[in-house]
Structure 1
Amino acid sequence: MPGDTSLGDSFGDAQGDGPSGDGARPGRRALVLVENLSVPFDRRVWQECTTLRDAGWTVDVICPRGTKRDTEAEAVVDGVRIHRYPLRAATGGPAGYLREYGAALWHTLRLARKVGPVDVVHACNPPDLLFLPALWLKRHGARFVFDQHDLVPELYLSRFRRGEDLLYRAVCALERRTYRAADVVIATNESYRDVAVRRGGMAPEDVFVVRSAPDTDRFRPVPPEPELKRGKPHLLCYLGVMGPQDGVDYALRALAELRAVRTDWHAVFVGAGDTFDEMVELSRRLGLADQVEFTGRIPDEDLVRYLSTADVCLSPDPHNPLNDVSTMNKVLEYMVMGRPMVSFELKEARVSAGEAALYAPANDEAEFAKLVALLLDDPEQRARRGEIGRERVGGPLSWRNSQAALLAAYAAACAKDDENSKSKNSKAARRSRR
């Protein structure tokens, strides 16, 4: 919670509790760099920060300010000190991104100087530009942990669809430079780990899989509310970002196919993004305006109400170079709420959801609609698949396992620091004997 709590007071009670292991380093300091979202709104980053805090680390974060939340320039939230800078999101194509990223880099370097020396700098992409402040901190003794949230070359291909042009080659070069600077890489899944080893040239022992996992305090089922179905027997729900690569247009076209054969459902799309207005207009053009509701971003308690009432959830991310190998947060969030879902056939969607989902052939909207109808007509199958998802999130995909991997990554980074110190001491001793 924001306030004037001192770092010393905040950490006094944290060091003996929570996760422990090789990554527990009382008295050491980590600086987490984020450009894509504010903190603690970025749930994955916040889980990582609190895990490190509970392991005895002093944690600082540098990130942009939010628009409606996380608006303070500086705050201490649950013992983590957060330094925020103003940032205008990119508009108008590549020039807009250059302005955004240039401003972010300038503010990050400015605030990093204010924070001072740290033991580990932990940079979360996108963009693959945060290796620049990380290199400056490395010159002052820090180890660099690269937390790869997105494969930016694949993101570029999937979002902009411009092919392997000059900008694509530029983002590939920045990714290579980031790998080269990193002491340790954190990957969100095995597919990303494979890229770090194969394309990035990282040693396998220096790449750790830290899967994203839902916040079980945030996602707790509540009694369903039939009125959210707007008089229909069934509720369909989409949760997530609405960008060019997120497939909301695929979901809407699938729902148009579904509406042609049945109208016993209401659908709600929760979230916002670059294409929000475009998707609302597409819904109108497809004749879905009376059955499809767009809420924008909503408070957590309202989100939980919709998910608790939903009969089937939608994961319409189309098959493309990025989506096939990425772990979708919405998939895990549907699972923790015990909701069955329909997804397109994606490699990492199957790894996460397993039998909690039904899978349509890649980008086949008609088959997607048929699978939604199949689940609507089979309440026993819905319940079974929902329970499978809940068990997976509580077991092999739980944040407990990710905590252990995160602390192991930090232990490996610190071991490199210790090895370097021993090497320097050994060289100094040899020189003194001459």
Structure 2
Amino acid sequence: MLQTQRRVLILVENLPSPFDRRVWQEATTLHSYGYVVSIICPTGKGYEKEYESIDGIHIYRYHLPFEAEGAKGYLIEYSLALFHTFRLAWKVYFKHGFDVIHACNPPDLLFLIGGFFKILMRKKFIFDHHDINPELYEAKFGRRDFFYKLLVLFERWTFKTADVSIATNESYKRIAIERGGMDPDKVFVVRSGPKLDRLKIIPPKEDLKRGRKYLIGYVGVMGAQEGIDLLLQAACYLIKELGRTDVHFGLVGGGTSLAEMKQMAIDLGIDDFVTFTGRVPDQELLEMLNTADICVNPDVANEMNDKSTMNKIMEYMALGKPIVQFDLTEGKVSAQRASLYAKKNDPKDMAEKILQLLDDPELRKQMGEFGRNRVKNELEWRYEAPNLLAAYSAILTDQS
């Protein structure tokens, strides 16, 4: 327990708390070690109260009127988010106080608030680097134009403002050091390790297979960068060309491309073989993944996804599921022998890898056991929590 209670304000713009599991794990860990924790985040995902206290953590939320698309939409969204975050930061300051601002991107604009309180109020600033936004922009729009360069500039200013930065993996740590100019001793890797008390192994629900022998599971966002179109092409090839009509695909998650992907399944003539659940409660997600014989990650091979660690990979591993994904750097670092790796953005090769696992139950078992043990012995959140606490120790030691 800390001798003097430290106070932390966590800023999140893209997801509400406690829905954002990484942020919530960080918040609850800090709280359990004696920190007073407040969070400012948007409403959504069923969390609509402007204020509530959950597990001793103070959560202040603001409403964003729409989910942005396009440059103008993001400009409006981020301007509103900054206004509300700054407004609520003062509310937290006077009601609970804070010694540290812990800002999670996107966007790379929260340094404006962190910098304000750092310069004028002598507060410390931690940058929690969740997304590499220049690469995300390039992946979405296919160009390195003025806006790309602007994002690189915002990222650099964020790192320059930060007293300490937190990276989700070694690729992000290199970016913090090489592109952001951070002192390596001030960059801490805190992976988004799952908690096994949440990801429980439960009996399968056979009706989710829709009368077929095998279920291929996916959980995640239905967006442009998640490669659901490639997964549907792989499913079509597996079913129609390779003749595997004994498989069903269960895809869990919502997003801007959900309606488009449902229509694509119809256009491909495989809609009878695919269930889109949309966003569902954790229990239904667990039922789908526990029933799955194989889990897939079709994330598009690009600079963004190659350098990013995907939570779904570790969730699949935590549940002992063999995985098929494209050959991406951080995906291989996480999964190792728990996954087969298809050629980048090649749906036919993904289908072939799925077929290989369908026909080899012993390999499926070995891969699932390897993944489960890797999470239990190396990747679970309890192994990452000390790194988070070390980052705070470094920043607060400097302060004292």
TM-score range, shorter chain: over 0.9
Q: Pairwise mapping of residues 8-407 of structure 1 onto structure 2 (< 5 A)?
A: 15=1, 24=2, 26-66=4-44, 68-116=45-93, 117-138=97-118, 139-161=120-142, 163-260=143-240, 261=242, 262-407=244-389
- Supply the distance in 1 between the matched residues of 2:270 and 2:193 (Cα, whole angstroms): 33
- Supply the distance in 1 between the matched residues of 2:3 and 2:135 (Cα, whole angstroms): 36
- Supply the distance in 2 between the matched residues of 1:342 and 1:90 (Cα, whole angstroms): 31
- Supply the distance in 1 between the matched residues of 2:146 and 2:223 (Cα, whole angstroms): 23
Partner amino acid, structure 2, of 1:148: H
- Supply the distance in 2 between the matched residues of 1:293 and 1:193 (Cα, whole angstroms): 38
- Give deviations 1:106-140, integer Å, cap 9, x for gaps: 00000011111421100000000000111122121
Judge conservation of contact 2:194–2:379 (CA < 8 Å) in 1: no
User: What value does the CA root-mean-square deviation take over the aligned residues?
Assistant: 1.1
Judge conservation of contact 2:196–2:380 (CA < 8 Å) in 1: no
Judge conservation of contact 1:90–1:99 (CA < 8 Å) in 2: no
- Supply the distance in 1 between the matched residues of 2:69 and 2:100 (Cα, whole angstroms): 35
The alpha-carbon distance between structure 1 residues 225 and 194, as it changes in their structure 2 partners (threshold 3 A), is: same
Q: What SS class does the counterpart of residue 396 from structure 1 fall into? A: helix
- Supply the distance in 2 between the matched residues of 1:215 and 1:401 (Cα, whole angstroms): 10
- Supply the distance in 1 between the matched residues of 2:135 and 2:376 (Cα, whole angstroms): 30
- Give deviations 1:51-104, integer Å, cap 9, x for gaps: 1001110000000011x4211100000000001011123444111111100000
Q: What SS class does the counterpart of residue 33 from structure 1 fall into? A: strand
* Unaligned residue ranges in structure 1 (runs of 5+): 1-14, 16-23, 419-434
Q: Which runs of 4+ in 1 moved over 3 A?
A: 89-92
Partner amino acid, structure 1, of 2:83: W
Judge conservation of contact 2:40–2:88 (CA < 8 Å) in 1: yes
The number of equivalent residue pairs is 394
Q: What SS class does the counterpart of residue 303 from structure 2 fall into? A: coil
Normalization by structure 2: what TM-score? 0.97
The alpha-carbon distance between structure 1 residues 89 and 332, as it changes in their structure 2 partners (threshold 3 A), is: farther
- Supply the distance in 2 between the matched residues of 1:326 and 1:25 (Cα, whole angstroms): 37
- Supply the distance in 2 between the matched residues of 1:376 and 1:92 (Cα, whole angstroms): 39
- Give deviations 1:151-210, integer Å, cap 9, x for gaps: 01011111222x111111111110011011000000000000011001100000000000
Q: What SS class does the counterpart of residue 155 from structure 1 fall into? A: helix
* Unaligned residue ranges in structure 2 (runs of 5+): none
Offset of residue 250 of structure 1: 0.8
Offset of residue 217 of structure 1: 2.3
Offset of residue 352 of structure 1: 0.3
- Supply the distance in 1 between the matched residues of 2:214 and 2:227 (Cα, whole angstroms): 22
Offset of residue 401 of structure 1: 1.8
Bigger radius of gyration: 1
The alpha-carbon distance between structure 1 residues 414 and 175, as it changes in their structure 2 partners (threshold 3 A), is: same
- Supply the distance in 2 between the matched residues of 1:339 and 1:92 (Cα, whole angstroms): 34
Q: Pairwise mapping of residues 401-420 of structure 1 onto structure 2 (< 5 A)?
A: 401-418=383-400
- Give deviations 1:383-417, integer Å, cap 9, x for gaps: 11001111111111121121000000001111221
The alpha-carbon distance between structure 1 residues 92 and 207, as it changes in their structure 2 partners (threshold 3 A), is: closer
Q: What SS class does the counterpart of residue 235 from structure 1 fall into? A: strand
Normalization by structure 1: what TM-score? 0.89
- Supply the distance in 2 between the matched residues of 1:213 and 1:328 (Cα, whole angstroms): 10
1:19 paired residue number: none
The alpha-carbon distance between structure 1 residues 345 and 259, as it changes in their structure 2 partners (threshold 3 A), is: same
Indicate the percent of aligned positions where both proteins have the same amino acid: 50
Judge conservation of contact 2:195–2:380 (CA < 8 Å) in 1: no
Judge conservation of contact 1:31–1:121 (CA < 8 Å) in 2: yes
Q: What SS class does the counterpart of residue 107 from structure 1 fall into? A: helix
- Supply the distance in 1 between the matched residues of 2:46 and 2:376 (Cα, whole angstroms): 29
Judge conservation of contact 1:26–1:57 (CA < 8 Å) in 2: no
Offset of residue 238 of structure 1: 0.8
